Amino acid sequence: MRLYDMTLSGNCYKVRLLLGMFDLEYESVPINTLKGEQKADWYRRLSPRGQIPALEDGEATVWDSSAILAYLARRYGGDEWFPGDPVEAAHVLQWVALAGNEIQYGLAKARAINLFKRAGDLAESQALGRLALDVVENRTRTHRWLAGDRPTIGDIACYPYIKHAPEGEISLEPYPAVRRWLEEVESLPGYVAMDGGKA
C-alpha cells in the first residue's frame, strides 16, 4: 500500500490516522505541494484534481481523503468504522460532510492562512470554523462519539483540523466537550499524532 502524503496536511493525516488504527503497513511517498508536485502529469494520473492525498492499494487507486477513509473502512474495518445500515451510514456521512465543508473552509483555511501565509480572509475563516466547533460541541455534550455509539470515519474526518484549530488562532478553551472528545480519539488503539508520535 502506498500513500501520497504531506506531513503537515490534515487531510493526509486523517488517512495516516485511520491506517494507524487499523495497524496497516504502508509506504509514505512525500509530495512537496510548495513545489507543485501534486500538479505534475504523473501525479494527476493518480489524482485528477491534483490534490493530496492519494492511495494505491494493489489494483485500487483512490483519491480524496474522504473517499480514502470510506475505502479503508469498508475494506479493512468491516461495518465498525463505516456502517452498512443506511441510516447509520448517513449519520456518519453527515460528519464527513462537516469535515469537507465548514471544517475545511473554516478551521483548515484559517490554519493555512496563519501558518503557511495562504491567501484568504482569516477572520471569515475563523468565524466559519467556530460555527463548526459549535456543531461538534453541541453533539459531544451528550454523546461520546459523533455518529452512533462507537468511533467511525466521521470522527477521523473531523479530528485533525479541530485538534490543530489553535494553529489558526482559534482557541479550544470555550469548547470543553470538544476537548474531551479529542482525548477520546487520542486514547484509541493505534492513535498517531500528526508528526507520527503517540499521544
**CATH code: domain of residue 129:** 1.20.1050.10
What average pLDDT does range 128-133 have in this prediction? 98
User: Tell me, what's the pLDDT at 199?
Assistant: 41
- Identify the pLDDT of residue 156: 98
Q: Both 6 and 65 in a single domain?
A: yes
Does residue 50 surpass a pLDDT of 60?
A: yes
Do 103 and 70 lie in one domain? The reply is no
Query: What are the tens digits of pLDDT across the range 143-196?
Result: 999 999 999 999 999 999 999 999 999 999 999 999 999 999 999 999 999 985
CATH number at residue 56: 3.40.30.10
Q: Clarify whether residues 159 and 131 are in a common domain.
A: yes
Residue 172 grid cell: 479550544
Q: Is the pLDDT of residue 198 over 80?
A: no
Residues 93, 12, single domain; the answer is no
Q: Give residue 24's domain range.
A: 2-76
Q: Is residue 116 part of a domain?
A: yes
Q: Check whether 79 has a pLDDT greater than 50.
A: yes
pLDDT band at 138 (very low <50, low <70, confident <90, very high): very high
Cα separation, 156 vs 96, in Å, equals 9
Residue reference for cell 494493489: 58
CA-closest candidate to residue 55, choices 100, 11, 93: 11
Is residue 136 domain-shared with residue 68, that is, in the same domain? Answer: no
Q: How many domains does the chain have?
A: 2
Looking at residue 196, what is its pLDDT? 57
Q: 32, 56, 76 — which closes off a domain?
A: 76
**Which of 50, 76, 102 is the last residue before a domain boundary?**
76
- For residues 15 and 106, state if they share a domain: no
Give percent above pLDDT 70 in the chain: 98
